[in-house]
Every structure is written in C-alpha cells, then in structure tokens.
C-alpha cells in the first residue's frame, strides 16, 4: 500500500511515499534499515516490522540511505537470497 507522507523542515516541505505491505500479517518480509538514514524514518520501519508475522527478518546496516544500493548491496542481496530460499525454497527447473 502506498501512503503519501509529508515532513515540514526548517526550509522546504519534503514529500514522498511510504510503502507498506497490503497485509502485514502475511509474513515473508525482509526489512533492511540503514542505521544513519536521514531520508527514511527508521521508527516507521521498525513499527512495521513489529506488526509483521513470521517469517520475517530485520537487517540493519551501518551508513546512510544509499548504503543499501551501494557499499552494502552485496550484503543485502545475500540476506534476501538466503531468507527467500529458506522460506520459499528453490524454484523448480523449467
């Protein structure tokens, strides 16, 4: 589900989208949070993680917002691959 969000700062008003699962109770969620992210509020992410049922996994990374797709990308990919293989199993060969 996409939710429009707005933050009023000392300067411009910041607007964006917060994406949350349509059904947080369905399980099967990997949540990746950068510890020093100033663009995405981690308290909202942690609250969503708490509502989600198992299986779920929380991955926290040192760094800011873009560390997930730069320096720590291989780490994130490894966590997600391991999680989904463990809980969904490998896909059968076509």
Mean pLDDT of the residues in the chain: 83
Is 1 inside any structural domain? no
Q: How confident is the model at residue 25 (pLDDT cuts 50, 70, 90)?
A: low
* In the predicted structure, residue 87 carries a pLDDT above the cut 70: yes
Percent of the chain with pLDDT over 70: 84
Residues 6+ apart with CB under 8 A from 67: 34, 61
- Establish if 47 belongs to a structural domain: yes
Is residue 75 included in any domain, yes or no?
A: yes
Nearest alpha carbon to residue 38 among 74, 65, 2: 65
Whether residue 72 lies inside any domain: the answer is yes
Peptide bond into 85 cis (omega under 30): no
Provide the domain count of the chain: 1
Q: What is the pLDDT of residues 2-19, one digit of tens each?
A: 788 888 878 888 888 876
14 within some domain: no
Q: Is residue 36 part of a domain?
A: yes
Domain that holds residue 70: 24-94
């Amino acid at each position: 589900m996409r939710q429009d969000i707005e933050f009023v700062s000392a300067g411009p008003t910041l607007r964006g989208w917060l994406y949350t699962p349509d059904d947080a109770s369905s399980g099967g969620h990997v949540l990746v949070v950068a510890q020093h992210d100033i663009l995405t509020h981690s308290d909202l992410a942690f609250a969503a993680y708490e509502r989600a049922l198992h299986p779920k996994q929380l991955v926290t990374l040192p760094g800011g917002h873009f560390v997930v797709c730069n320096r720590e990308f291989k780490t994130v990919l490894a966590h997600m691959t391991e999680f989904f293989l463990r809980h969904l199993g490998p896909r059968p060969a076509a």
